[in-house]
Amino acid sequence: MKRSLFAGVLLVVACLAMTSCTTCKYSAQSNARFQCTVQSATVEMVAYEITLDGKLISTGRTMPKEKGTQMLEFTVAPGDHVLTVTAPGCETWQKTINIMDNARFGQTFLVELKKSEK
């Protein structure tokens, strides 16, 4: 009984230390939502990869323009992030985005993939 109580107290202390840490990027913080719509400048479907801060977060295919668009939703810690979308035969799309934690419905980014000149 005493051992489980001690373990429980130790866990609570560790959790409090994590939430009060201001320099640790893994401290508990609320995540904010953002949406991303990826579409092709041409009528053909294009396979793409989305990375956030260099980490792969999604893959997919663009929809033909006549069928509409597909919105992807992600959650991330508020702040500046680098959003990158790559696709074979297309120019790389990259933007530094600022995700705000007080945006009521999240933020939306439209990515239009253009054919590469190469």
Mean pLDDT of 89-118: 84
Mean pLDDT, residues 82-108 taken together: 86
In terms of domains, do 66 and 108 share one? yes
Residues 37 and 23 in one domain: no
Q: Which of 4-13, 26-35, 37-46 has the lowest mean pLDDT?
A: 4-13
Residues 57, 10 within the same domain: no
Please provide the DSSP assignment of 6-19 as one string.
HHHHHHHHHHHHHH
Q: What's the number of domains the chain is made of?
A: 2
Residues 80 and 97 in one domain: yes
In the chain, pLDDT over 90 holds for what percent of residues?
31
What's the pLDDT score for residue 41? 79
Coil/strand/helix, residue 100: coil
Query: Which residues neighbour 40 within 8 Å (Cβ) at sequence distance 6 or greater?
Result: 46, 62, 65, 87, 90, 112, 113
> How far, rounded to the nearest angstrom, does the alpha carbon of residue 43 sit from its chain's CA centroid?
26
Q: How far is CA 22 from the centre of its chain?
A: 22
Residue 71's CB is within 10 A of a number of other CB atoms, namely 11
Flag whether 118 is in a domain.
no
Domain containing 98 equals: 31-113
Domain with 74 in it: what CATH number?
Answer: 2.60.40.10
> What is the mean pLDDT of the segment spanning 92-108?
82
Whether residue 104 sits in one domain with residue 60: yes
Task: Give the pTM.
Answer: 0.68
Same domain, 19 and 46: no
Please indicate, yes or no, whether residues 4 and 51 belong to a single structural domain of this protein: no
48 and 36 both lie in a single domain: yes
Does any domain span residue 9? Answer: yes
Residue 117 pLDDT level (bands cut at 50, 70, 90):
confident
Co-location of 22 and 61 in the same domain: no
Query: pLDDT band at 31, cuts 50/70/90?
Result: confident
In this prediction, residues 72-83 reach a mean pLDDT of: 92
Asked if residue 66 lies in contact with residue 29, where contact means CB atoms within 8 angstroms, the answer is no
End-to-end CA distance of the chain: 69
Q: Looking at the predicted structure, is the pLDDT value of residue 86 above 80?
A: yes
The mean per-residue pLDDT over the stretch 58-81 comes to 86
